[in-house]
Amino acid sequence: MASFKPLARKTRAGSSCVTTDAKACDIGSVMQGGRHSLLSSTANVGTKMVVAKKCDRFDTVGIDLVALCANHLAARGAEPLFFNEHLSTEKLDAHQAMELVKGVADGCVEAGCALIDTGVSELPGIIAPGGSDFVGFAVGAVEPEAVLPNVSAMKGGDVLIALPASGMHSNGFALIRCIIRAAGLEYSQAAPFDPTRSLGDALLPASRIYVKPVLSVAREGLLLGAAQVASGGLARCFDEVLPSHLAAHLRGDAWELPVALRWLAAVGKIRSRELSSTFNCGLGMVLVVAQESVDRVMHLLRDQREEPVVVGELVARAQGAQRVEIEGADGAWLMLPELGVSLPFPEVLSSLQDPWTVSRMRVVVLAGPEDVTSVQALVQATSLPASAAVLAAVVSADPNSHALRVARSAGVASQVLGDGRFTEAGFFCDGLDDLDAGSNPDSAAGADSGGGPGINASADFSAQLDHAMESLQAELLVVLDDVDPSLLTRSFLTTHEGRVAVLHASLLPSFPGALPVEAALRSGVCITGCTMCFAVPPVSLGPGRFCYGPQILQETCRITGADTAATLRARLVSQCESYVLPRAVQLIASGSVALQLDGGGYGLGRSDSFTEAASEGLLGTSHKAV
């Protein structure tokens, strides 16, 4: 905490109410000669913090926090006086905390307020591992008669002047993360819309602080109201600014939608209405001024080095009409100057679409009996328009499988294999996979009409699964970690080569057998995780045969001294599998990853066609199944 003091001290040089080392504000020093009202604002940066963690870049997030509070005060006509912030985290990272507070200090200098207190707390057990909450609180002062908005003075024909945003600010990052995850992209790779920067850097510019330009207009008595474009996006920013009988009429062609948002709209197939209700759409602050004051206001704003744009006007609001109407957004917002074409909503020109969003791969999930499952993460990911896959069904041998209930609640088809007979006592028994090395499990299919244990169980199970895949027109089978993949026969894996992926609850090649969570705990290792890989025909039969082929993704998870099998599995599912499963499915469905024959083994490759990828050898390193 002592290292934060110099950062806080530098923000007090221009403050009229805070002494050098004080942790309090002398309000009287800014209220001499008249009465003042105090206004407050509090905010946090939300899920933008998650992207900052992924990019290990926190220098802009503190500025974002100050901007949210200070801009809100300025929009009310108040001069920000002081700012407090508090960081709560599961485990303190000193470098991260310093970067955050440095950003707050820089933001306070820009806003002209003092940072008078910083707080940090570690809350293990309350905040999830890797999580944090970054909250700010600001207080500003304004003369009572100058409090904005002045709704009584507003009328139809008043002009709306916008100040451009520097980027996304702190809006819509939950949706941004979903689109990027569904598109199979990494924050470290070059941004598709700006190859000169990484995707993370393109999404993390600091929010702009508009205190000085907004107050310069307010002090001249020219400002009727102002709206910070933050929570609720452009469509909701006027909710607390305009009187009930007026609406904001914006012209979509008055400004250019940022290229990052055009890309997100195209990839995520976001309609213009959803775009405006989620993002700032390139505008950070919108001012309401009288028509006769426009020229003077534009001059004042340019003196503050702003680039103001007249974007619309106030109009009479019909009963039941929206507070904000954006004319021509469907056509204008996806105008691409780089290409000289206009992309209509909601469909995007097929030449600019990922081909896998046009014809989505049908995925079937094979789930087991566990109550903790990652199926929900896949349901959410495949429901996005940007997903290259569609979840066709969830199947299980267990009629009481929790994954089946998750599927049904989400409106996804579900199916019980073998009408539930695979869960009968004695059907699966010890030695099911301990086949005689000289036997042929595939030739035994149906040999035992009694359906008893042994090699016929595996053959019968694979036959039922094959029938289910055919009836569901499945193009990819995903086997979850609570299903024994050795139930899949060599014949099944050969028939569906390149179309079966396995999720295993360990960092392969470690703990490849059954009960990998328990095996990791017994071994005393401190790190485990999960692996998503292709399933391939095993090179041998008998005990210890596995069908794990080339690995697609892995994710690590920490083991604590207090972990049990249940707590560790729950954390594996929430922290690892729920990330790896939808991402790996997207990689396969988009053609970014495919199983390739490579000499005497298998490798990973890429193809423009999933059918070609399953049959042709392109790239990849050799890998033989265990």
Over the stretch 63-87, which tens digit does the pLDDT of each residue have?
999 999 999 999 999 999 999 999 9
For residues 532-545, average pLDDT: 70
Other CB atoms within 10 Å distance of the CB of residue 508? 20
| Res 331: pLDDT | 75
Decide which of 619 and 356 is more confident: 356
Decide which of 621 and 333 is more confident: 333
Tokens linked to 68 = 């949210």
Tokens linked to 404 = 């089946």
Tokens linked to 334 = 């996806």
pLDDT tens digits, 397-417? 889 899 999 999 999 999 998
pLDDT above 50 (res 535): yes
What is the location of CATH 3.40.50.170 in the chain?
A: 361-426+456-608
Residue ranges of alpha helices (H) inside 194-304 are 199-203, 211-218, 233-236, 259-268, 272-278, 294-303
Decide which of 30 and 130 is more confident: 130
What is the location of CATH 3.30.1330.10 in the chain?
A: 1-20+35-145
Contact (Cβ atoms closer than 8 angstroms) between residue 167 and residue 258: yes
pLDDT tens digits, 270-322? 888 889 999 999 999 999 999 999 999 999 999 999 999 999 999 999 988 89
| Res 601: pLDDT | 75
Query: Which residues in 390-404 are b (16+ Cβ under 10 Å) and which e?
Result: ebbbbbbbbeebbbb
Q: Residue 605 and residue 550: Cα distance in Å, rounded?
A: 10
**Lowest mean pLDDT segment, chosen from 171-185, 398-412, 492-506:** 171-185
Q: What is the CATH number of domain 148-335?
A: 3.90.650.10
Q: What's the mean pLDDT when you consider all of the chain?
A: 82
Other CB atoms within 10 Å distance of the CB of residue 129? 14
**Lowest mean pLDDT segment, chosen from 257-261, 449-453, 463-467, 502-506:** 449-453
Q: What is the CATH number of domain 361-426+456-608?
A: 3.40.50.170
Rounded to 5 degrees, what are φ and ψ at 218? Answer: -65, -40
Decide which of 182 and 2 is more confident: 182
| Res 605: pLDDT | 76
| Res 623: pLDDT | 39
pLDDT above 50 (res 362): yes
pLDDT above 80 (res 391): yes
Q: What is the pTM of this model?
A: 0.60
**Lowest mean pLDDT segment, chosen from 10-19, 108-117, 219-228:** 10-19
For residues 319-329, average pLDDT: 89
pLDDT tens digits, 575-590? 899 989 998 998 888 7
Q: Residue 110 and residue 209: Cα distance in Å, rounded?
A: 7
Decide which of 431 and 608 is more confident: 608
Q: What is the β-pairing status of strands 548-558 and 527-535?
A: antiparallel
pLDDT tens digits, 146-161? 999 999 999 999 999 9
For residues 589-602, average pLDDT: 79
Question: What does each C-alpha distance from 251 to 265, 333, 619 come to in angstroms?
Answer: 19, 10, 50
| Res 21: pLDDT | 45
pLDDT tens digits, 31-66? 445 578 899 999 999 889 999 998 999 989 999 999
| Res 524: pLDDT | 92
Protein fold of 1-20+35-145:
60s Ribosomal Protein L30; Chain: A; (3.30.1330)
Letter for the amino acid at 33? Answer: G
Q: Which of 522, 543, 528 is nearest to 626 (CA)?
A: 543
pLDDT tens digits, 129-148? 888 899 999 999 999 899 99
pLDDT above 80 (res 508): yes
For residues 468-483, average pLDDT: 92
Band the pLDDT of 541: cuts 50, 70, 90: very low
pLDDT above 60 (res 18): no
Decide which of 461 and 445 is more confident: 461
| Res 503: pLDDT | 95
Q: Residue 345 and residue 253: Cα distance in Å, rounded?
A: 15
For residues 98-111, average pLDDT: 95
For residues 342-356, average pLDDT: 38
HSE, CB side, 13 Å, CA atoms: give it for residue 68.
25
Tokens linked to 207 = 């929010």
**Lowest mean pLDDT segment, chosen from 305-319, 321-335, 594-608:** 594-608
Contact (Cβ atoms closer than 8 angstroms) between residue 362 and residue 473: yes
pLDDT above 50 (res 341): no
Task: Detail the DSSP E strand segments found in 465-571.
Answer: 476-479, 500-504, 527-535, 548-558
Band the pLDDT of 459: cuts 50, 70, 90: confident
Band the pLDDT of 424: cuts 50, 70, 90: low
pLDDT above 90 (res 229): yes
Q: Residue 588 and residue 594: Cα distance in Å, rounded?
A: 6
Q: Which of 413, 395, 390, 367 is nearest to 577 (CA)?
A: 367
